[in-house]
């Protein structure tokens, strides 16, 4: 994978030779979009075929042909590892089929887990700090007259009009209206309930 001004054909020749030495059949996934982009046609197709187990090893000229962002590179390498696909990089001389390469994957996985743990801890620390400072966490609760929302909707106002007037979503208007309709129906059923009187050991409707 390479950007257009970095002699793509030269890099492909090197990778073809590496694959030939391993006795591998070749499927190429060239990209002419910068490695700084996480979404690239060649890389996206490579990962899609990896998930279909269409190959067993990935050859790259260098780590930065996969991604320039460490987080994205770790994600790609971690997915290939879980799929049982070997990863070979020419410049860094890394081959995950060997013990040193597998050790590198273990180290990368540990770094990845550490990074995720640090992110979680930073989020939790931020929430604790916000709570101590008296700041609200999450959305502020909406304060509006729910009964009036239902009344306005029943009066003929459209969903959009009611939602705009009370600064709520159309879904909220629908939910409140349906809940009110359900409560009214439940109350009506209770009024129509038939009382029971006891006659001997049995119950009959009066």
Q: Which residues pair with 87 in a beta bridge?
A: 58
Q: What is the enclosing helix (H) or strand (E) of 135?
A: none
CA–CA separation, 150 vs 185, rounded Å?
15
SS3 readout for 103-121: HHHHHHHHHHHHHHHHHHH
Instruction: Mention every residue, 6+ apart, whose C-beta is less than 8 A from residue 178.
Output: none
Nearest to 58 by CA among 31, 78, 80, 83: 80
**How does DSSP assign 63-82, residue by residue?**
GGGT-SSHHHHHHHHHHHHH
Greatest Cα pair distance, the chain, in angstroms, is 100
What residues are labeled active site? Answer: 2
């Amino acid at each position: 994978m390479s950007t257009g001004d970095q002699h793509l054909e030269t890099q492909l020749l090197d990778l073809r030779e590496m694959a030939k030495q391993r006795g591998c059949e070749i499927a190429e996934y060239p990209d002419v979009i910068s490695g700084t982009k996480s979404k690239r046609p060649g890389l996206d197709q490579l990962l899609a075929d990896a998930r279909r187990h269409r190959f067993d090893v990935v050859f790259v000229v260098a780590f930065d042909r996969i991604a320039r962002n460490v987080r994205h590179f770790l994600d790609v390498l971690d997915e290939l590892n879980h799929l049982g696909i070997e990863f070979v990089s020419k410049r860094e001389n890394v081959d995950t089929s060997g013990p040193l390469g597998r050790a590198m994957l273990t180290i990368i996985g540990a770094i990845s887990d550490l990074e995720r743990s640090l992110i979680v801890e930073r989020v939790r620390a931020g929430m604790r700090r916000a709570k101590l400072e008296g700041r609200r966490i999450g959305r502020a609760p909406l304060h509006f007259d729910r009964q009036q929302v239902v009344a306005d909707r029943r009066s003929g106002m459209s969903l959009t009009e009611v939602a705009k007037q009370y600064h709520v979503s159309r879904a909220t208007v629908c939910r409140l209206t349906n809940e009110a309709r359900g409560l009214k129906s439940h109350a009506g059923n209770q009024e129509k309930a038939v009382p029971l009187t006891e006659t001997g050991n049995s119950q009959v409707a009066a």
